[in-house]
Amino acid sequence: MRLNGRHGTNRSVATGKPNQPNSSSEIDDMMETENESLRDRVVDLEKKVLEQGDEIVCLRSTLADVLRRLNQFESRGAPSPAPTCLRNGNGTTIRGISHSNHIGTGKDSTPGNVPRLRQPAYHQQPVPTDAGPKDNLRRAASYAPSSLPQRRVVHYQSTGSLHSDSPSSTSVSPVPTSPSPTHTPPPPPGGRTTPSPRTPQPPSQRPNSVGSGSGSGSLHKRWSSTGDFNNSGITSPTGTLISASSMAIASRLATKSLFNLYMRPQPHQQHLLKHGTRDATYNEEEGSVRFFLRGRPVVLHAPTAVAENYDLMKVATAPQTRLKLEWVYGYRGRDCRSNLHLLPTGEMVYFVAAAVVLYNVEEQSQRHYLGHTDDVKCLAIHPNKLLVATGQTAGHDRREGRPHVRVWNSVSLHTMAVIGIGEFERSICCLSFSKADGGVLLCAVDEAPDHNISVWDWQRGEHGQKITETKCSADTVVAAEFHPMDRQSIVTCGKSHISFWTLDAGGTLYKRMGIFENRDKPKYVTCLAFTQTGDVVSGDSNGNIIVWGRGTNTISKFVRGLHEGSVFSICVLKEGSMVTGGGKDGRLVQLDASLSPTGQEARVPDHLGAVRAVAEGRGSQLLVGSTRNCILIGSLELGLTPVVLGHTDELWGLAIHPNLPQFLTAGHDRLVTLWDSMSHSVVWSKDIAEPVQSAAFSPDGSVLIIGCTSGHWMVMDAETREAFSAHTDGGEPIQVVKFSPDGNLLALGSRDNNIYVYQVSEEYRKYSRVGRCTGHSSFITHLDWSMDSQYIQSNSGDYELLYWNAGLCRQIPQSSQLRDVEWASNSCTLSFNTIGIWPEGADGTDVNHCERSHDGNLMATADDFGKVKLYSYPVVQPKSLCHTYGGHSSHVTNVSFLHDDSRLISIGGRDTSVMQWSLS
């Protein structure tokens, strides 16, 4: 039998006890017996692990100790003690292991006439003299030297190298992927093995001897245990140490081990790429904070006044100031229908983003229902004109953003019921209350692949009760309405179809398709309405109006070519006449009860879009929603006046007037719009024929800089909208533009990774290029000027914070030298004063913009989850509390305080909304 890679000799082992055998054969017999005993105990413990889940932690610890000591026994040639495992630390023994056959390992424990077993070469390393015998053993096993680069931790040596003939072998293997007890086959000729998944043998087929090799009797390690690795860690690609427990969990979960029955799977990637400030560290000597964004380290230097007493663990409180949504600019008409109604309170009700707006035009007041977490897609009014049902799409958050319907009181804004959470798949595109029975039932259509239609008893419980659900159509469904006189009748329409549904007493829906006979079948049936006699009226994409007899699925009357293009809306007025709205020609046409034109018409101006929705207002007034997200009020006789204007494409540009309560918005719809925050109206709007990415006012407010997505930027008069000049820098979007505080320089950050600096003269009308700041390895996202107009700090898409000498366009590599510079603004999301705006799990793209208030007390942020957050400034603590506000549904792209800090403006991206918040 070989010990430690050498054949046994006549050496004996001192046990430190009387009457111990000293002959080599007796020692061999004792070792063989002890090996079998320990192995049997390991098998017993292995079974216990599978049978007793509640004792898993303790048993694993015991199993690990036994296996470790078995390894030590194999390497030293003698058994070691195994500790007794205590359950839950209360002293109750779960499974005891004998402490017999203890072999002394210290220097003094070996008699002078008995030589000790030689340590193998891979364990020979200095051990502190004050370490006890057990410590010596554990350190020898756990701190083997390594040649692997950038690893400060133990490496798991292959069984082949442990038991090779050469005692100096230091072959290492990758981290084992399976800690479960498995048999290790003999090593290949090279002596190196790589752990790989193996099929465990049944107990009856496992060999009974410790060594299973050739006749030389070499010892082979049969098991590897996670317990062997519990005192070590591994290093992530970022150079950070991953805890041993996390590594062991990841190792177990990489196999089909039965340990997984009692463990919750954890994502493997979360240990590889660090995000956010969870693991932030503070270097007191340098006065710097280090944290990670997508695995990349970010080092930020604290100002001298802060560095001395800075405490990374301190929790910053939220500010006493709060936000309240004061006004919402915009309307969603570009892709939604039947979403504009007049309530008895005199308020129009409509929606944009995740906010439902109740707007009283005469009183110039707005109220807002903010119960939704993402885009509202449809709206229905209860027959009592008091309750409103709104349906939303699936949101960002898988739990909070699930599609559902909310029924709420339009007076108190109190939520009456939340229906269908977990029942809908994508988004609710159509809603309708039953009318013949007083609104007991609610019909909803889900934009799932089959466009499922469901009927709910919405008043039963807090979440309603679903009566029935069935497939509506594989094609798009654009409208669903309960019949106003027949309780059991529902009509739906959409692409190439109109369907008539009957709900029987048993809760089953039966469908009859509309028959177009020999008439041209339209590509879309676009809208529905009901006459006072109960007939169904539909409009289609061919500009036709069709009447379907009550209770039938056949055509009773056909009006061809009433509009050019689609008929998007039909509104039946109280006196029996109806008004139709054209989706291409923008015309409003009145028809009498017999569907004959009365000759009264009106037209929506082309720049405001075509007709999307028509609703009856007070008296002879009409409410008209347009496809370009505008709302108009008026009559066919007197014409229409816009009362709500909005953007129609993604918004990014936001500029605050330096002296007046005005702000400017610009987006990819090519529109530049100046708003007045006091009157909530548009001062002017201009189409500049190019998508806009950024904008800025000159320090005196007389000139506007508009940055476009093509690399062009223009100089415009803020009052007359006259363009003074146009320039081009690169071919990528101009992400950010800012004047220096003294007004002598202009900086433009481009998506081509460069910052362009211009000299300003002639009252902000002439611009001469000074140079280009080159050094960022990704696109510019934000920049700020210092108060003395000498320096620029900038962020880029790869989470860099760089500093520049603006006059020379040179980078300042020693960022610590600028730690005490006072900045005129703080829109850079990566800076020491904004550490706390990053969530613990942030990946670097979550926060789109931030802005400091002019008094320096507050900071607002815009993020990817539709939230606006308000912090106390500076936000230097990783754990900073804040106030969070919803209303936007898409990513919030920009946020800024008005010049007097009385209000905050936020703009959405794809939700195209502009929201004005008051501070209180």
What is the mean predicted confidence (pLDDT) over 536-543?
A: 93
Spatial CA neighbour of 68 closest among 53, 79, 84:
79
The pLDDT assigned to 35 comes to 64
As a whole-number percent, the residues of the chain with pLDDT over 90 amount to 54
The pLDDT assigned to 440 comes to 93
Tens of pLDDT, residue by residue over 830-843, are 999 999 998 776 66
Whole-number Å distance between alpha carbons of 779 and 777: 7
The pLDDT assigned to 394 comes to 85
Tens of pLDDT, residue by residue over 618-652, are 888 999 999 999 999 999 999 999 999 999 999 99
Q: Where are the alpha helices (DSSP H) in 105-192?
A: 133-142, 159-162
Query: Helices 133-142 and 56-76: crossing angle, nearest 10°?
Result: 90
What is the mean predicted confidence (pLDDT) over 478-487?
A: 92
Whether pLDDT at 322 is above 70: yes
Mean pLDDT across the chain? 78
Tens of pLDDT, residue by residue over 418-432, are 998 888 988 999 999
What is the mean predicted confidence (pLDDT) over 769-779?
A: 95
| Secondary structure E strands in 483-544 | 489-494, 497-503, 509-513, 525-530, 536-540
The pLDDT assigned to 164 comes to 33
Whether pLDDT at 551 is above 60: yes
| 828 SS3 class | coil
Q: Check if the beta carbon of residue 837 is closer than 8 Å to that of residue 859.
A: yes
Whether pLDDT at 546 is above 70: yes
CA-based max dimension of the chain = 125
Q: Cα 815 to the chain's mean position, in Å?
A: 31
What is the mean predicted confidence (pLDDT) over 206-225?
A: 37
What is the mean predicted confidence (pLDDT) over 771-800?
A: 95
Whether pLDDT at 266 is above 50: no
> Of 146-155, 260-269, 771-780, where does mean pLDDT reach its minimum?
146-155
The pLDDT assigned to 825 comes to 95
Whole-number Å distance between alpha carbons of 776 and 732: 15
DSSP 306-334: HHTT--TTPEEPPPS--EEEEEEE----S
The pLDDT assigned to 521 comes to 85
Q: Which residues pair with 918 in a beta bridge?
A: 324, 903
The pLDDT assigned to 56 comes to 58
Tens of pLDDT, residue by residue over 372-381, are 989 999 999 9
Whole-number Å distance between alpha carbons of 197 and 201: 13
Which single residue is written with the structure tokens 């970022």?
238
Neighbours of 18 (CB within 10 A): 5
Whether pLDDT at 40 is above 90: no
The pLDDT assigned to 461 comes to 82
Whether pLDDT at 775 is above 80: yes
What is the mean predicted confidence (pLDDT) over 272-280?
A: 64
The pLDDT assigned to 79 comes to 43
Whether pLDDT at 191 is above 70: no
Tens of pLDDT, residue by residue over 135-166, are 433 333 333 343 334 433 333 333 333 333 33
Ramachandran sector of residue 101 (left: φ over 0; alpha: ψ -120 to 50; beta: rest): left
What is the mean predicted confidence (pLDDT) over 826-832?
A: 94
Cα distances (angstroms) measured from residue 884 to each of 108, 323, 356, 410, 861: 68, 9, 18, 24, 10
> Of 95-104, 344-353, 539-548, where does mean pLDDT reach its minimum?
95-104
Cα distances (angstroms) measured from residue 783 to each of 301, 316, 828, 864: 17, 25, 6, 20
Task: Identify which of 244-258, 418-432, 588-602, 759-773 has the greatest average pLDDT.
Answer: 759-773
The strand pair at 766-773 and 288-293 is best described as: unpaired
Q: Check if the beta carbon of residue 588 is closer than 8 Å to that of residue 578.
A: no
Whether pLDDT at 251 is above 60: no
The pLDDT assigned to 213 comes to 39
Q: Check if the beta carbon of residue 290 is closer than 8 Å to that of residue 283.
A: yes
Cα distances (angstroms) measured from residue 203 to each of 40, 197, 257, 831, 881: 10, 18, 16, 61, 57
Pick the residue with more confidence: 432 or 518? 432
What is the mean predicted confidence (pLDDT) over 485-505?
A: 91
Q: Check if the beta carbon of residue 455 is closer than 8 Å to that of residue 470.
A: no
Ramachandran sector of residue 790 (left: φ over 0; alpha: ψ -120 to 50; beta: rest): alpha
Pick the residue with more confidence: 114 or 807? 807
What is the mean predicted confidence (pLDDT) over 876-887?
A: 92
The pLDDT assigned to 845 comes to 75
The pLDDT assigned to 68 comes to 74
The pLDDT assigned to 757 comes to 97
Pick the residue with more confidence: 469 or 60? 469
pLDDT grade for 475, boundaries at 50, 70 and 90: confident
The pLDDT assigned to 29 comes to 58
The pLDDT assigned to 239 comes to 42
Q: Cα 843 to the chain's mean position, in Å?
A: 9
Whole-number Å distance between alpha carbons of 478 and 512: 17
Whether pLDDT at 238 is above 70: no
> Which amino acid is residue 179, in one-letter code?
P
Whether pLDDT at 225 is above 60: no
The pLDDT assigned to 701 comes to 95
Helix (H) or strand (E) holding 305: helix 304-307
What is the mean predicted confidence (pLDDT) over 521-526?
A: 90
Question: How many alpha carbons fall within 13 Å on the CB side of residue 538?
Answer: 34
The string over 671-708, giving b where at least 16 C-beta atoms fall within 10 Å of a residue's C-beta and e elsewhere, is bbbbbebeebeebeeeebeebbbbbbbbbebebbbbbb
Radius of gyration of the chain (CA): 38
Q: Check if the beta carbon of residue 157 is closer than 8 Å to that of residue 172.
A: yes
**Is the peptide bond prior to 202 cis by the omega test (within 30 degrees of 0)?**
no
As a whole-number percent, the residues of the chain with pLDDT over 70 amount to 70
Q: Check if the beta carbon of residue 343 is closer than 8 Å to that of residue 379.
A: no
The pLDDT assigned to 48 comes to 61
